[in-house]
Structures are given as structure tokens and as C-alpha cells.
Amino acid sequence: MVFLWLVLGMILLIKGADWLVEGAVSIALNLGVSKLIVGLSVVAFGTSIPELVASVVSVLKGHSSVSISNVVGSNVANIGLCLAVGVLFSSVNIRKQTMRIEVPFMIISTFVFFSLLIRNGAYLLQWNDGIVFLSLMIVYIYYIVTSARDVIEEELESEIRGKYKTLTSVMLVLIGIAGVSLGGELTIRNVVEIAKMFGLSETFVGLTIVAIGTSLPELVVSITSIVKGEGDILVGNIVGSNIFNILLILGISSLIGNLTVDVRGYYIDLFVMIGIALLLLIFSFTRRKLTRVEGILLLSIYITYILYVFQRK
């Protein structure tokens, strides 16, 4: 029964985020908010809402290891699963802007996270680390607003299906808020129950169940982008999501409470996150596109990593 509640929680979390974004976007458009600002909220924040809610709820309930591992696991899954699966359908070109600025910024964010987490010889993030993350988040948002207007408006056209009437939009927002709130509560509560039931660490379930579950929106976006022939924006979406996961989600979560990890040898998980990000950087600069062979390699690394995590528990 606990697994059914977990599945229900993740469905509510993901679908609630979808409704929340749709309603908020529609309200903003009806109020005459610029497409740039609306596009920023859709493209950058949309698919990160499940990770944000799951991480915040886990911290509030005293399960901070789920918060960190959710981000680490999601970032590995975004590249090794979501992006890799998308590339299996078709080769994907990488925008020059994504290659020169966004991927390197993701690498920098990842190294900052790694450095802050292990600087005291212990896996710990505190409120002052949250300030660092959110400061970098402001820099990234400034870059998007000033340098990526055309990209955002192009992605906006593919993301927004149309405006709703104001009353319908408000209802979508309210239902979305209720969905992510209840979904986050059910997800974290049952994840902890599963961990206790099978004697698993909270870090383990954060790296696997929660990370994969909250990465489903990115997986859907990846496959949909390829099918629609919009693969050139796929890498940018994945990279942007990874940046937001580190800077926004860990930034907010560490302001709420101290974040720690409850397993030894966590540096391996961090090295995998860094390594797979560096591999994406190398692929970006060698051919300026991702091929099926590279997708198979990324997916193989992800599967190997998940098998390792299951073996370690």
C-alpha cells in the first residue's frame, strides 16, 4: 500500500506542478506581463518545481539527506537518463550559447556545490551556503534575461498551449498548489516509510526513487522535443534544470535548515555528478552535437551508477 501512496504522491507532485505553471502563465499573459518574464518562469522554473517541493518538504520534516540526494540524483538522471534517452531517438545539435556559457556555468555551479558540501570534512550545507547558491542564481537569471531573449520566446511558443480565462487560470493555480503540496507530503512520507521498511538509507531513496520520480518532467520534455523536431533546445533545457536544482533548490533548502547526508562514501555520488557533467561539456565542444553513440554511453554510465547505488544501499 505504501508504494501506491508513493506513486499517487509523485503523480500529484508532477501534475500539480504542470497545472500550477499553466495557470500562472495564463494569468500573467492575461495581465499583460511580457513574454520574456513569462518565458523565464515556464522554461526555467517549470520542470524544477517537483524537485523544489520534495526537497523543501524533506527538510521541514527533518529528512535533509533526501533533499541533497534528490538534487544529486536528479542532476545525474537529467543527463544520464533524460537527455540520453532523448538522444537515442535522434542526434541533437547544441546551441553555441548553450555550449559556451550554460554548460560551463553548470560545471561551475556543480564544483561550487561540491566544494561547499565537503569543505569542513563533513557533508554539510548551512544557511550561509544557501546565500552563495542564491547569489549565483541571481547571476544566472540576469544572464538569461539579458542574453537569451530570443531563445526564451522561441521556447515559450512550444511550451504554452494557449491562454485560459482568468477564473479557469485561478482554479488551475489553486489546484496546482494543492496538488504539489499534497504530492510532496505523500512522496516524502512514504519514501521515509519505504526506507524504514527495507532498512535503506534516506540518501539511497533520495538518489533513486525521489530523483527519478521528480525527473520525469524532464524525461517527458526530452522525448517530446525530439518527436517535435525541437531537439536543439533540449540540451539547454536539461542544463538549465540542473543549474536550478543546485542553485535554487539547495539555496532555499539550506536556508530552511542544515542539510546533511546519512551514508559514507558519498564522494562517489558527487564524482559521478561532476563526471557526467564534464562529459557533456566534452561532447559539446568536440562535435557541437550529441549522437546516439554518446547517448548510449551516457545511459550506460547512469545504469552502472544506479546498480552501484543499489548494491551499496
Q: Are 65 and 201 in contact (CB under 8 A)?
A: yes
**Digitized pLDDT (tens) for each residue of the chain, 313 residues in all:** 787 887 888 788 778 777 877 777 777 777 766 655 565 555 556 667 777 888 888 888 888 888 899 899 999 999 999 899 889 888 888 877 777 888 999 999 999 999 999 886 678 899 999 999 999 999 988 887 776 555 555 555 555 555 677 778 788 888 887 887 787 778 777 777 887 787 777 788 878 888 877 777 777 777 777 776 766 667 877 888 899 999 999 999 999 989 888 777 788 999 999 999 999 999 888 877 888 899 999 999 999 999 998 887 6
d(CA 180, CA 15): 8
pTM of the shown model: 0.83
Q: How is residue 257 written as a grid cell? A: 535548515
Query: Domains of the chain (ranges plus CATH)?
Result: 2-312 (1.20.1420.30)
For the chain, the farthest-separated pair of C-alpha atoms sits apart, in whole angstroms, at 54
